[in-house]
Amino acid sequence: APSPTHPPPPFHFGWKAVAMSGTKVGEPLVWKDGDSFYDHGYDDENAPDLNNRIEFPQNELYGRDEELQVLSEHFQSCSGPDVDAPVVIVSGYSGSGKSALVDHFMQRLESEQDVNFLYLKGKYESFPSPFSAIIQAFTGFCNHILQPSKSVTLQRIQLAIEESLGDQARVLVPVVPALGSILDGSNDTDFQKGIDPNPDESTHSIAKSDGAWNQLRFLFQTLLRAIGNEACPVLMFLDNLQWCDSASIGLLQALLNDKSLNNFMFVGALCENEVDRDHLISKLLEKMGKNGKVVHRISLRPLTLDEVGEFISDTLSLSVEECVPFTEAVFNKTRGNIFHTRHAIEELHRSNALYYSVIAFRWEWNLKDLATGFSDTLEESVLSKIKRAPQLLQTALLLAAYTRSTINIAMLHTLIVAYTEEPLNLKELEKLLETAVIEGLLLNSVGSSDYRFAHDRIQQAAYKLIPSGPEQNKLRLFIGKKMFELASSSPSSNGTSDDWNIFVAADHLNSLINTEEEIDTMTLIKLNFTCGEKAVAVAAYAPACVYLRLALKFLRRFKDNVWTKHYDIALRVYQTTSDVDLCLGHFDDGNELAQEVLANARNAEDKVTTWMSLSGALGRLRRHAEAKDLCKRALTEISDTPKRFHNLHFVKYDFQVKQYLKRHSDVDILCLPKLEDEKRMAELVMLNECGLRGLAGGDMMEYLFCTARQLIISFEFGLCSLVAQPLSTYAMVFNMAGDYKSATRMARLARSILKETTKTKEVTPYTILMTCLHVEGWTQPREQVLLSLNEAQRIGMQNGNFEYGFLLWSCTVGFLLTVGYHLETIATTAVELLEQSHLYSVDAIYSMTEQHIVLIQCLREGDGPNWQKLESFRFEIDPTDGDQTWRFVSGIVARLDIAVIFGNLDLASAMVNDLEPFLPLCAMYTVKPMQLFLSCLTFAGLARSVNRRRNLAQARKYSKEIKKLVGTQGTHIIHKYMLMDAAILWADPRGNVTKVAKAFEEGIAHAEDISYLQDVALGSELAGEFFISIGDNDRARDYLQKALDFYDEWGAVAKARALMRDRAEYVAAEADFNSMPSSMQPGRRRSSRKSFIDAPLPLTSTPVLEVPVVPESIRETSPMPDSNPCKERKSTQELSELTWDQTA
């Protein structure tokens, strides 16, 4: 045996069993029935063959070659571009080697020099705290890449996180404290404890709202996308999924269903005998399968007799044939369970049925003793090994088993001293635990103060050292109180990995509610409320609800009025429980508690949180009128706001706002003092909520009233970040009124407020949305507008404001359609938007995005639209549902666009009439220019066939409107006016051919200069039809061919096919098209022209629109022989005298 000065290495098990009745602190460590732990009779390190110990093979895996191959294939697949992340579930009975399989696979990858990957590993506990394994996985990953040898990887990851998350990465630091060290690039102990050296709760914390859960999921998704890439994929392994908490299930659902999460592989392990069809993980996997996600399963079978024989042969250093009798005896007991097999061999060695012969220098056994030399079950085998340990070590293992699988030695020392009431030196405890490591009961990394059970079955066996009953209840009472005391004396940051002890305490004490053990009621209230608050802090609402409901139950045990004697704790418990219920969609339960808060709260300030939560919940249920009425009642309690809003109130406030703006400059406004009055701040918050609910409910007047009221308060009492939102709303109001100069000023002021004030994350998405669509879209370069929309969308998503985050995303899709991006890129982005909105259950934006997809599909798929289906788009609009209104407007505009492009003027005319009542809503850049342009072309086209005078008058009306916009709101739409003018001149019998030709030429050229592909294509097609009407077939052919090229460049394959079919004599005939090489066919080729439309849009929930520098002009790089197809045809002098009647 080894000497005391040279202890054996870890994982060398089974020293000769010698015994003694017990061990006291300070005495030599001994095992029961004999000598001290070490046998001093032999001390020759150079003769290992004489060491009487079992040495199991290291880094060897038996009978799992096929499973390793499956893992390898899936890992290789995740390294490719745009590959769906593989999900692998490894199942088997406890002890079958699930963790060993994945760890061995990971070690094999690490040994390959040309393979780079990031490994995240976590393990769930039988006493889980929210996200415990996921936090453990990210913590281990962070500590790994902070090593000096990983400096290059660290720099890459820091840069990737900065680009994708920016400052919002710190929101995850309270959840994963070690991430703070990554962000700062140093192994700072403050971060490991979850302390942010630059705390700013408003900027770097999870949103305290119904969007917090979505925010957390989004940030984790973005983080995983950032750290992995094609050259270095991410492998995440979560063990013991059978103990996975509900919060983790929700996060895993978001991660594993995210189709944009590439270069990622997930492996989960679970005990199949502990998971039934109703288990959370079973439901998650079933739901993933229904959604089309392939889940690969690896079911570990027990090892065969031959495989066990090979393992025993390597262990005993004997041939397989020599070990047959021993192998058969062991296999008959263990049935191929590798963990049981190892313990059986150790147990046979302890009973001397297996021994090392110093005469034959080999392992031998007694066949007679093999049948009775070890336990019948794995549990008995492990328990017998623990019971042989010194009594103090048994106590340490017992207390550790009632906490979790990993425990710090300092905490364990505190528990032992309190439990035994005897002094214990920390060094002695460390020595004691090292013996457990040597015996294979615990694991410990070099230099670490944390010890963990070597296997779940060891922890379970230690747990059963005390049988269930009064004695176990007393132990659980002790553990619960002590853990709560430790958590209360040294609190950590909310939701960090150090908070597991508070959840362990709650589980123990809550289990004793119906026993004879006496527990102070207030202790149970505070304990469960603390657990609920910590779970809410990391957006784990499902477990939070359980703890908060228990706190509420104990609170109601007080016979006296809790709102009188325990107001503070009652307010917090009722208010937090109500908020969580409402966030989870339990409206009736949450509303009941909210009403009790509103009835018993002592002042209006204590009610604001409840009012906001209840209003948000009603809004999510589309009960906007009720939400608005609730906000109005709140405003009457907070301030002197009128109980009923009348138009005259808005007229009064609107007049005051405009007079103030007239008398004060931008500098005067920006120099106003900061708003410090908390009551006025609460009023601003409620006015903002009330206005948004009015807007969602279709009540524009109340929305405008609340907006004006917010500005009046800000001008009188001071500025705060919230004022940016009403300023941007007034930009919309001025724009709708045609006062573009004032609209620009309001947008500029709103931007300045965002820049100069802090805590703007709540209002930034809305503010930028309004300024971009109503002001900046008309004048700013589209690249800048796209970047602004993207930035606002990113801020909204990262801060949990998913309602506006997805709205911005949808508006970005509409903007891309407006400014001529390629349809294939837009389609992919729109589909990704639908998938993400469904994943995050934000359905309000779903129907509006669907209308964009209808337009794209009609332009790209088949040979043309399904007119019958398009014409059936009719439904009654609920005036109280603003979302439905916008869906209708989006659908009408999309169908108007389709009808004009494909020449169905009857449907186009019907769509124009349907859109007429909603024109006041169409003031934004993505709707109004298109609506005026398409409406004018519709009536100009109709004027060429029927009701010429009336239709021409209608067309001229739209032309005048857009001409006014060109004069006041920039030249982005001047090409539309030119093309509209050309269409009107064409329809006018008194029109001049030269003017028409020149108008078409200039309009097309200007559209081409600014890369509005769809307008170039449509204008060229109209010009071609015009020249056909006057008999100039050469020019018609040139223009129609150009239209075909640009429809193809735009990605409108279906329209290109229709044009070739309808005008085969002017463009490539259908037969010629089919005979073309595939690279030359419309929809399969791309022009050699390079412009920013070729820049790929990201297909993730953070669409960072990377827009390259715009080239000088698409016209200058056009592959066509001449960008002007009319050149060298009939001169304008030859056509100057022709009129429509003559050319007809």
DSSP 27: S
Q: What are phi and psi of 468, to 5 degrees?
A: -65, 145
Report pLDDT digits (tens) over 1010-1049: 889 999 999 999 999 999 999 999 999 999 999 999 999 9
Q: Is the pLDDT of residue 674 over 80?
A: yes
- According to the model, what pLDDT value does residue 197 have? 35
Instruction: Rank 182-191, 306-315, 805-814, 879-888 by mean pLDDT and report only the highest.
Output: 306-315
- According to the model, what pLDDT value does residue 1097 have? 38
- According to the model, what pLDDT value does residue 1123 have? 36
Report pLDDT digits (tens) over 325-356: 899 989 988 888 898 898 888 888 888 888 88
CA 645 to chain centre: 40
- According to the model, what pLDDT value does residue 210 have? 58
Lowest-confidence pick of 684-698, 896-910, 996-1010, 1031-1045? 684-698
The mean per-residue pLDDT over the stretch 929-944 comes to 93
- According to the model, what pLDDT value does residue 199 have? 35
Q: Is 606 exposed, middle or buried (0-12, 13-18, 19+ CB in 10 A)?
A: middle
Q: Is the pLDDT of residue 1089 over 70?
A: no
- According to the model, what pLDDT value does residue 833 have? 84
Q: Which residue has the higher pLDDT, 554 or 366?
A: 554
Give CA separation, 499 vs 130, 177, 506, 840, in Å: 10, 12, 12, 28
The mean per-residue pLDDT over the stretch 647-651 comes to 82
Report pLDDT digits (tens) over 576-634: 999 999 888 899 999 999 999 999 999 888 999 999 999 988 888 888 889 999 999 99
- According to the model, what pLDDT value does residue 87 have? 93
Other beta carbons within 10 angstroms of residue 1110's beta carbon come to 15
Q: Is 864 left (phi over 0), alpha (psi -120 to 50) or beta?
A: left
Distance between CA atoms of residues 1081 and 1086, nearest Å: 9
Whether 687 and 709 have beta carbons less than 8 Å apart is answered as yes
- According to the model, what pLDDT value does residue 880 have? 55
- According to the model, what pLDDT value does residue 1068 have? 65
- According to the model, what pLDDT value does residue 1104 have? 36
Give CA separation, 553 vs 525, 547, 574, in Å: 8, 10, 11
- According to the model, what pLDDT value does residue 791 have? 85
Residue of 347, 346, 364, 343 whose CA lies nearest to 355: 364
- According to the model, what pLDDT value does residue 1020 have? 95
Distance between CA atoms of residues 370 and 325, nearest Å: 9
- According to the model, what pLDDT value does residue 875 have? 54
What is the separation, in whole angstroms, between the first and last Cα of the chain? Answer: 113
Q: Which residue has the higher pLDDT, 755 or 1007?
A: 1007
Confidence bin at 15 (pLDDT 50/70/90): very low
Residue of 469, 183, 455 whose CA lies nearest to 341: 455
The mean per-residue pLDDT over the stretch 557-562 comes to 81
- According to the model, what pLDDT value does residue 25 have? 40
Distance between CA atoms of residues 206 and 426, nearest Å: 39
User: What is the amino acid identity at position 480?
Assistant: G
Q: What are phi and psi of 878, to 5 degrees?
A: -80, 115
Whether 124 and 134 have beta carbons less than 8 Å apart is answered as no
User: What is the amino acid identity at position 385?
Assistant: K
Distance between CA atoms of residues 810 and 814, nearest Å: 6
Distance between CA atoms of residues 416 and 418, nearest Å: 5
Whether 990 and 1139 have beta carbons less than 8 Å apart is answered as yes
Report pLDDT digits (tens) over 842-894: 666 667 788 888 899 999 988 778 888 888 776 555 555 556 777 788 888 99
Q: Is the pLDDT of residue 302 over 80?
A: yes
Distance between CA atoms of residues 99 and 326, nearest Å: 27
CA 900 to chain centre: 39
Tokens (6 digits) for 304: 């065969």
Longest Cα–Cα distance in the chain: 124
Whether 612 and 685 have beta carbons less than 8 Å apart is answered as yes
The mean per-residue pLDDT over the stretch 928-935 comes to 92
Confidence bin at 467 (pLDDT 50/70/90): confident
The mean per-residue pLDDT over the stretch 81-103 comes to 88
Confidence bin at 903 (pLDDT 50/70/90): very high
**Residues in contact with 54: Cβ distance below 8 Å, sequence separation at least 6, in sequence order:** 12, 13, 14, 315, 345, 346, 349
Q: In what order do the strands lie in the sheet with 442-443?
A: 406-408, 450-453, 442-443
Whether 983 and 792 have beta carbons less than 8 Å apart is answered as no
Whether 767 and 688 have beta carbons less than 8 Å apart is answered as no
Distance between CA atoms of residues 384 and 350, nearest Å: 10
* Helix, strand or coil, per DSSP, at residue 151: helix
Confidence bin at 746 (pLDDT 50/70/90): very high
**Residues in contact with 605: Cβ distance below 8 Å, sequence separation at least 6, in sequence order:** 678, 679, 682
Which ranges constitute the DSSP H helices of 205-337? Answer: 212-227, 246-256, 280-290, 305-316, 324-334
**Residues in contact with 245: Cβ distance below 8 Å, sequence separation at least 6, in sequence order:** 124, 128, 129, 130, 131, 132, 540, 543
Q: Is the pLDDT of residue 446 over 90?
A: no
Q: What are phi and psi of 628, to 5 degrees?
A: -65, -40
Distance between CA atoms of residues 788 and 754, nearest Å: 13
Lowest-confidence pick of 33-47, 97-111, 376-390, 486-500? 33-47
Distance between CA atoms of residues 1144 and 1131, nearest Å: 19
Whether 790 and 1095 have beta carbons less than 8 Å apart is answered as no
Q: Is the pLDDT of residue 18 over 50?
A: no
Confidence bin at 549 (pLDDT 50/70/90): very high
Tokens (6 digits) for 247: 């919060």
Lowest-confidence pick of 419-423, 835-839, 985-989? 835-839
Tokens (6 digits) for 728: 């941007």
Report pLDDT digits (tens) over 190-243: 333 333 333 344 444 555 555 677 788 888 888 998 888 888 899 999 999 999
Distance between CA atoms of residues 397 and 500, nearest Å: 18
**Percent over 70 (pLDDT), the chain:** 83
Q: What is the mean pLDDT of the chain?
A: 81
Q: What are phi and psi of 884, to 5 degrees?
A: -65, -35
DSSP 85: P
User: 407-411: long-range contacts (C-beta < 8 A, 24 or more apart)?
Assistant: 407/450, 407/451, 407/452, 408/449, 408/450, 409/433, 409/449, 409/450, 409/451, 410/449, 411/486, 411/501
* Bridge partners for 92 per DSSP: 271
Q: Is the dihedral of CA 1070, 1074, 1080, 1085 positive or negative?
A: positive
* Helix, strand or coil, per DSSP, at residue 674: strand
Q: Is the pLDDT of residue 1070 over 60?
A: no
Distance between CA atoms of residues 656 and 710, nearest Å: 12
Whether 567 and 606 have beta carbons less than 8 Å apart is answered as no
Q: Is the pLDDT of residue 650 over 50?
A: yes
The mean per-residue pLDDT over the stretch 790-802 comes to 81
Report pLDDT digits (tens) over 904-918: 999 999 999 988 888
Tokens (6 digits) for 947: 């009701």
Angle between helices 246-256 and 541-555 (to 10 degrees): 160
* Bridge partners for 297 per DSSP: 89
The mean per-residue pLDDT over the stretch 435-447 comes to 84
Confidence bin at 321 (pLDDT 50/70/90): very high
Confidence bin at 1131 (pLDDT 50/70/90): very low
**Residues in contact with 801: Cβ distance below 8 Å, sequence separation at least 6, in sequence order:** 207, 211, 761, 762, 765, 795
Name the strand (E) or helix (H) holding 91.
strand 87-92
Q: What is the 3-state secondary structure (H, E, C) of 712-774?
A: HHHHHHCECHHHHHHHHHHHHHHHHCCCHHHHHHHHHHHHHHHHHCCCCCCCHHHHHHHHHHH
Lowest-confidence pick of 448-452, 478-482, 705-709, 1052-1056? 448-452
Which ranges constitute the DSSP H helices of 584-699? Answer: 587-600, 608-620, 624-638, 647-663, 666-670, 678-696
- According to the model, what pLDDT value does residue 111 have? 86
Note the pTM of the prediction, 2 decimals: 0.74
**Residues in contact with 40: Cβ distance below 8 Å, sequence separation at least 6, in sequence order:** 1, 3, 4
**Percent over 90 (pLDDT), the chain:** 32
* Bridge partners for 365 per DSSP: 354
- According to the model, what pLDDT value does residue 844 have? 63
